[in-house]
Amino acid sequence: MQTTFNWFLKHLKQNVGFLLALLILFASRSSLADWYLVPTGSMQPTIVEGDRILVNKMAYNLEIPFTDIKLMELATPQRGDIVVFNSKAADNRLVKRVIGVPGDRVALLNNQLFINDEAIELETDATTGAMTEHLGHKSHKLQFIAVSQAMDNFAPVTVPAKHYLVMGDNRNNSADSRVIGFVPEEEIQGKAIKVLVSLDPEQYYLPRFARSFSPLI
């Protein structure tokens, strides 16, 4: 028994630097930044299947590593932000765009957003037909695909305190707040800021170099 313990101590001392580096790495991923593989197309065309996105976990809160205990609030999600959150309602980690913040009155009429009774500008490119939504000072592309039961309308709702209304950029093919309801503030893990690398699942996971290191906001 003593021999085994001595062997353990010896190897622990020899590898303390490596173990410390691992601890720092996992602590950083826990509270500073993380990366997330996107498996679905609910955020197309902004984020596509196979993108591995960089998430700034300090965008809104400073937390104790390896816990969800908040030490300090640094900011709050804004309209147009892309957030990653652990949804209890969906029992999954999701990535969506913030549409409504606490107190906002939001409605959708034939895929036209209204926030606080004002229509959000939706621009159509005359050449390509691509749609761009202008959400405050942030603009982003949208995708509309034909589906049998499009969720393209909902009556005005008011976003409650400490909750957010989120939607996917692939508007007719996204299980977002129209399905799971408002997202509680405490479920939000961070802000997606960049595509680190993109692998094409339909082309033997070959890299999409044009998407690598491209900003999302």
Rounded-to-integer distance, Cα 211 and Cα 200, Å: 11
Three-class SS state of 9:
helix
Q: Is 96 annotated in the active site?
A: yes
Rounded-to-integer distance, Cα 146 and Cα 58, Å: 38
Identified catalytic residue from 31, 87, 96, 191 = 96
Cα angle vertex 152, ends 148, 77, to 5°? 130
Rounded-to-integer distance, Cα 118 and Cα 115, Å: 5
Burial of 203 (0-12, 13-18, 19+ CB in 10 A): exposed
Identified catalytic residue from 42, 87, 174, 177 = 42
Q: Is 42 annotated in the active site?
A: yes
CB 139, CB 129: distance < 8 Å = no
CB-based contacts of 122: which residues, under 8 Å, 6+ apart? 111, 112, 113, 131, 132, 133, 134, 142
Instruction: State the catalytic residues.
Output: 42, 96
